[in-house]
């Protein structure tokens, strides 16, 4: 299986990349990045790309792909609706359209968020924008799955690129076992989330198209398939 990942340097993207590296079904990983990851892994092919609204320059490298794990995003905190929508919706749909043209049978996995508003009419700006993005992706010709995680605990060396979030995750890390026990339908880890994203690529349109935390934790349970190393 050939997988393309957007946002591989972010917290969710690191978990997705790790899952792909460990899974024997994934033979090649294309990581579309602004800056080199320098992963050094034999599976990874990096595509350094600047304009996330136009993929014309790399269109020829997007063919014969089996899956896309779209983990690119930005926090809504301190971000206006126009900018947030541009990054969250426009970047995602530009990639989706390019991939639909080049690899129409692929599976597109989009990481949204718990509380996303499918009606596109709620009070929360970020929830409306993500709801609209989800709806447009689900209307496209490929197999699409929307992931709506809640709290994501980084594990196995995964770290947020945002200094504030890194500090918050350090403070909250000791609470994770308690959160998992008291609110299992609201918490997961980067490891489980990454494995679930890889697992869903094999469903080819079966099952629910919107996956919430219980679905994610079920799909991501157990070790990665194979004996890969990171």
DSSP per-residue string spanning 161-181: SSHHHHHHHHHHGGGHHHHHH
Question: Tokens 């079904």 correspond to what residue?
Answer: 25
User: Range of 184's domain?
Assistant: 2-219
Q: Identify the DSSP state of 123.
A: S
Q: Is residue 200 within a helix (H) or strand (E), and if so which, with residue range?
A: helix 190-200
Across all residues in the chain, what is the average pLDDT? Answer: 91
Residue 70 located in a structural domain: yes
Q: What pLDDT sits at residue 227?
A: 47
Q: Is residue 108 within a helix (H) or strand (E), and if so which, with residue range?
A: strand 107-111
Write the CATH number for 74.
Answer: 3.40.50.720
pTM for the model stands at 0.92
Residue 192 located in a structural domain: yes
Residue 103 located in a structural domain: yes
Strand boundaries in 140-226, DSSP class E: 143-148, 151-153, 187-189, 210-212
Q: Per-residue pLDDT averaged across 214-222, rounded? A: 93
- Alpha-carbon distances of 225 from 45, 195, 198, 215, rounded to whole Å: 21, 9, 10, 18
Residue 224 located in a structural domain: no
Residue 225 located in a structural domain: no
24-33, 137-146, 182-191: least confidently modelled range: 182-191
Q: Identify the DSSP state of 85.
A: H
Number of domains in the chain: 1
Residue 229 located in a structural domain: no
Q: Which two three-digit tokens encode residue 76?
A: 């809504």
Q: Per-residue pLDDT averaged across 36-42, rounded? A: 87
Question: Can you tell me the distance from the alpha carbon of 154 to that of 170, in angstroms, rounded to the nearest whole number?
Answer: 9
What share of the chain in percent tops pLDDT 90?
Answer: 75
Question: Can you tell me the distance from the alpha carbon of 15 to that of 218, in angstroms, rounded to the nearest whole number?
Answer: 16
pLDDT at 2 over 80: yes
pLDDT at 33 over 70: yes
Residue 100 located in a structural domain: yes
42-56, 152-166, 176-190: least confidently modelled range: 152-166
pLDDT digits (tens, 9 = 90+) for 74-106: 988 888 999 999 999 999 999 999 999 999 999
Residue 227 located in a structural domain: no
């Amino acid at each position: 299986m050939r997988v393309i990942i957007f946002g591989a340097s972010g917290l969710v993207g690191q978990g997705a990349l790790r899952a792909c590296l460990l899974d024997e079904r994934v033979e090649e990983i294309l990581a579309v990045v602004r800056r080199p990851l320098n992963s050094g892994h034999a599976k990874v092919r990096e595509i350094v790309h600047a304009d996330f609204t136009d993929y014309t320059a790399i269109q020829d490298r997007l063919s014969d792909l089996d899956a896309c794990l779209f983990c690119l995003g930005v926090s809504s905190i301190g971000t206006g609706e126009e900018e947030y929508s541009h990054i969250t919706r426009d970047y995602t749909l530009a990639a989706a359209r390019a991939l639909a043209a080049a690899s129409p049978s692929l599976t597109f996995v989009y990481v949204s968020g718990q509380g996303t508003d499918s009606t596109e009419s709620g009070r929360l700006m970020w929830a409306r924008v993500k709801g609209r993005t989800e709806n447009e992706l689900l209307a496209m010709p490929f197999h699409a799955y929307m992931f709506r995680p809640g709290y994501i605990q980084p594990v196995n060396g995964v770290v947020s690129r945002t200094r504030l979030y890194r500090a918050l995750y350090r403070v909250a890390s000791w609470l994770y076992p308690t959160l998992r026990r008291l609110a299992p339908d609201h918490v997961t880890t980067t490891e489980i989330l990454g494995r679930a994203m890889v697992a869903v690529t094999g469903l080819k349109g079966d099952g629910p198209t919107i996956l919430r935390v219980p679905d994610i934790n079920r799909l991501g349970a157990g070790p990665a398939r194979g004996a890969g190393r990171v």
